[in-house]
Chain A
Amino acid sequence: MAHFETTADIEPDRTPPALGRRRRWTWLRSLWRDKKAVIGLCVLVVLVAGALTASYITPYDPNAQDFEFLEAPSSTHWLGTDDLGRDLFSRIVYGARISIFVGLSTVLLATVIGVVLGLLAGYYGGWIDNLIMRYIDLQWAFPNFIIAVYLVAVFGTGLTNVIVAITLAFLDDFARVVRSMVLSIREEDYIMAARSIGCSNGRILLGHILPNTTAPVIVQATVSVSYAILAEAGLSFLGLGVQPDTPTWGLILSDARTFFSRAWWLAVFPGLAITVTVLSTNFFGDALRDIFDVREYQEEM
């Protein structure tokens, strides 16, 4: 928390009552000063806006076929067309919808479930902790993408199954981070104070412990979004993702595999879309990590 200490150095005597609000301000200000964060955030805003307004900004229907097969990028088809004469630009913009939706929804679900599991395991200990930790340890033995593949192998393909698979694959990271935080917060004086004035377990957990775990959780969530987007693209590319014909970046790459030697644009642009999205998320996540100073949790991939 290096940054907050600097503020305290300047005004050592005035510990304002509204510390929470002040902290939030410093947080935003340092974010604004970080060049990487600003670039990442701007690109992400453009991507989300593009995904939301896809039907207005795309010149063609993403599934409309045409007789202009495998056309190179031109003024009529900005990024060219695929083997069925579909406009690549329109398909990539629509593809952003799936990628961003899967990336955000899986991480949101994984965060909620993972945080609850971590809180329960860390706070109550005993058999609850044992049970949850056995499960987390089981997942810990494998990289997230492999777990997602295992789960899709079991559940089958399709958008819902992919979301379930990626959510389950990522939630152990959150549970692990939160549990280790709770274990140390639990011993703090203010928790004892809260307990001695008769706070219920629920109130201690939600009102006193949960707010103190937010920084690492936010950082973990940002990092996870980029991995979730990569995982979805990978699953779609392997044919384990969404239904065929849905425009997603991974699937466009997979569909066009046979035409790559003749049509470089089919290989380059969808991959570029994935890379730019993941890169800006990583930029943003990296800046958050510096600001919140949670390096010790960095290894949780």
Chain B
Amino acid sequence: MTGYIIKRTFYALVVVWAVATIVFFMLRAVPGDPFRAMLADVDPAAAEVLRRKFGMDRPVYVQYFLWFGRIVQGDLGNSVYGSNVAVSRIIREAFPRTIALSTLAFLISLLLAISAGVISAIKKHTFLDHVFTFVAFIGLSMPDFWLGIILIIVFAVKLHWMPAIGYVPLSEGMWPWLSHLILPAIAIGTPFSAIIARMTRSAMLEVLQSDYIMVARAKGLRERTVIFTHALRNALIPVITVVGIAFALLMSGAVIVENVFAIKGLGRVLIQGILNRDYPVVQGAILVVSVIFVFTNLLVDLLYTIIDPRIRYQ
């Protein structure tokens, strides 16, 4: 097991390195750089000075080794815009926002999805089941950013229940923090809960037909005990295997929905960096986002072995 963890961690690091390297070289292979875009028409000399300051006048491979050396030491460079803030600082501020948002979305939607899935399975082919199935279909087909916009219009603009946009740190109180995150969390979580609800439903239906459920009923257990302690626990195993894939979907939803709600998380940092052609910011954001993805995958894989002891890795 330890060997397996070491091997997988090493492989995860290789993936992150490969992504960062490919992005580094491809960014520089595309003609035009941020300074030319900013200054070339106005003042080519100033653009040249800036290029030298950021080391972009050097050969690409030299830039790469310098950059790599700094990355290893945790230095992600500085933004080329404004007051040249350190990228690591931007990311340190953005990181907890994205994590808070994704975690909240994860919890809300898991709760909703598993309840809906269980109800659908128990009441299969009833009106309620059909409603849940249809809602799940819509949830999967709706763009998350659009759902975000609709939620803003309904709950912030019309009803004034929640603030429309922005982010407040947890230090300013539980409710202010939570109220800024609920709407985007629902927007992100909806496609995720649609997938989980459908998975839960089919897994529950399968388990409910198995012999040990019949035994449990035959020995006179209450229906509630049968459903929750006997059926649901086993039905959740296949569900958890898709949670990993679905969690990735959740994170990619965060990238776009953060832009709707003007939450300066990793997604917004990445997109703003791309729009500004701010290389150090783009590279830093891609690096950190990739690390999150790769290590979440790893974590989920390891979690399987704990949840389902039948799974063993070499």
Residues of A within 8 A of B (CB): 137-138, 141-143, 145-146, 149-150, 152-156, 226, 230, 233-234, 237-240, 250, 253, 257, 260-261, 264, 267-268, 270-271, 274-275, 278-279, 282-283, 299, 301
Contacts and interface: CB of A to CB of B under 8 A. Distances in A.
Contacts of B142: 271, 274-275, 278
A47 B75 CA distance: 50
Contact of A153 (B152, B245, B282): B282
Contacts of A146: 248, 251-252, 255, 289, 293
Contact of A260 (B137, B141, B149): B149
Interface in B257-307: 259, 270-271, 273-275, 282, 286, 289-290, 293-294, 297
Q: Is the interface of B mostly helix, strand, loop or mixed?
A: helix
B207 interface: no
Interface residues of B, number: 42
A287 to B, nearest CB: 12
Give the 8 A-B CB pairs with smallest separation, nearest first.
Answer: A271-B146, A279-B141, A278-B141, A154-B26, A143-B252, A153-B274, A261-B157, A145-B252
B19 A150 contact: yes
Contacts, number: 113
6 contacts: A142-B248, A150-B286, A240-B275, A267-B150, A275-B146, A282-B137
A279 B137 contact: yes
Interface string B228-265: 00000000000000100100110110011001000000
Given A142-B248, A238-B271, A299-B242, A153 B286 contact: yes
Given A278-B141, A282-B137, 10 more contacts: A141-B297, A143-B248, A143-B251, A145-B252, A145-B255, A149-B274, A238-B259, A274-B142, A282-B140, A299-B245
B221 interface: no
A15 B140 CA distance: 42
B282 A275 contact: no
A143 B248 CA distance: 6
Interface string B8-34: 000000010011000100110010000
B133 to A, nearest CB: 10
Contact of B146 (A138, A153, A239, A274): A274
A282 B26 contact: no
Contacts of B138: 275, 279
B35 interface: no
Contacts of A267: 146, 149-150, 153
A279 B136 CA distance: 11
B143 interface: yes
Contacts of A234: 143, 145, 256
B145 A237 contact: yes
A267 B147 CA distance: 10
